Amino acid sequence: MASPPFSQDMAAQAEPGDPARRRLIAAGASAALIATGGLLVPAHAAEASAGGEDVSATEDLMREHGVLRRTLIVYAEIAGRLRSKPAEVDGGALVEAARLFRAFGEEYHERSLEERFIFPEVRRAGGGPVRLVEILLAQHQRGREITDYIQATARSGRIGTGDAEPLARALEGMARMYQAHAAWEDTLVFPAWKKTQSADRLKEMAERFEELEHQQFGKDGFDDAVERIGRIEQTLGLADLAHYTAPSPR
Ligand SMILES: [Fe+2]
Ligand SMILES: [Fe+2]
């Protein structure tokens, strides 16, 4: 089906309340973009915030942490295998996990959202969280170094005997650091940011985050990332949640 003649440029030229703009918006109801409160957003993003999925900005950030935490679980499991059966470790699955962490974690969640919107606004607001932001930025940088190292070390698909222990330590170090990183962000930094925002601004940011996600990953960035980590877990025999149920202490 051909898209109706509607574009961001056309709507941007019309004033809010302008009948021409209203006609453009009506014509574009099924097109790629619609206007919400003066802000142009992809139609699917507006649906998500207008009764569909309704994902708030902080929920969005926290569910992204969920994907990253699952990657860290994979890292920790592989670290154990590198010590017990290094020859059996699937380097390809590890590289795929590191690629997911780079694209979804470092390039999108950290660079496009936290470093662009969250951290500068927390810094401007001042107070205790400002010191945390400096540490979080240093941890983003350290994480990128570790991701480079993981990819370089596991690139061939097989882990050399001499690399097994240093790689296991790097994976555990990354998992330890980022578990704390995400937990501090969830409980201190995101709530501090949210307190500085008006209700309208929070809604606008939820739409903006959704828009950026679509720009960077296409239609279903988060869902695709969940599927991607699911496939990695499947390859490694880690897809069953029951695998993690702790043994009885008795
Ligand atoms: Fe972060
Ligand atoms: Fe984060």
Closest ligand, as measured to the CA of 61 = 2
Q: Which of 35-39, 98-102, 236-240 has the lowest mean pLDDT?
A: 35-39
pLDDT digits (tens, 9 = 90+) for 5-62: 323 333 333 333 333 333 333 333 333 333 333 334 343 444 344 334 689 999 999 9
Query: According to the model, what pLDDT value does residue 219 have?
Result: 78
Q: At 101, is the secondary structure helix, strand, or coil? A: helix
Predicted TM-score (pTM) of this structure = 0.79
Give the distance (Å) from ligand 1 centre to CA of residue 129.
13
Other beta carbons within 10 angstroms of residue 7's beta carbon come to: 16
Give the distance (Å) from ligand 1 centre to CA of residue 71.
15
**Which residues, other chains included, contact 83 with Cβ-Cβ below 8 Å and sequence gap of 6+?**
164, 165, 168
Give the distance (Å) from ligand 2 centre to CA of residue 224.
18
Average pLDDT over residues 61-79: 98
In degrees, rounded to 5, the angle at the alpha carbon of residue 58 between the alpha carbons of residues 32 and 106 is 80
Average pLDDT over residues 97-108: 98
The DSSP call for residue 127 is S
C-alpha 152 chain-centroid distance: 23
pLDDT digits (tens, 9 = 90+) for 221-231: 999 999 999 99
pLDDT digits (tens, 9 = 90+) for 189-222: 999 999 999 999 999 999 999 999 999 998 789 9
The DSSP call for residue 163 is H
Around ion ligand 2, which residues have CB less than 5 A away? 185
Query: According to the model, what pLDDT value does residue 220 have?
Result: 84
Give the distance (Å) from ligand 2 centre to CA of residue 124.
19
List Cα–Cα distances, 39 to 7, 36, 43, 215, in angstroms.
Answer: 13, 5, 12, 16
DSSP 5-49: S--HHHHHHSPTT-HHHHHHHHHTTTSSEEEETTEEEEHHHHHHH
Report all structural domains of the chain as residue ranges with CATH numbers, in order of start: 8-49 (no CATH), 57-238 (1.20.120.520)
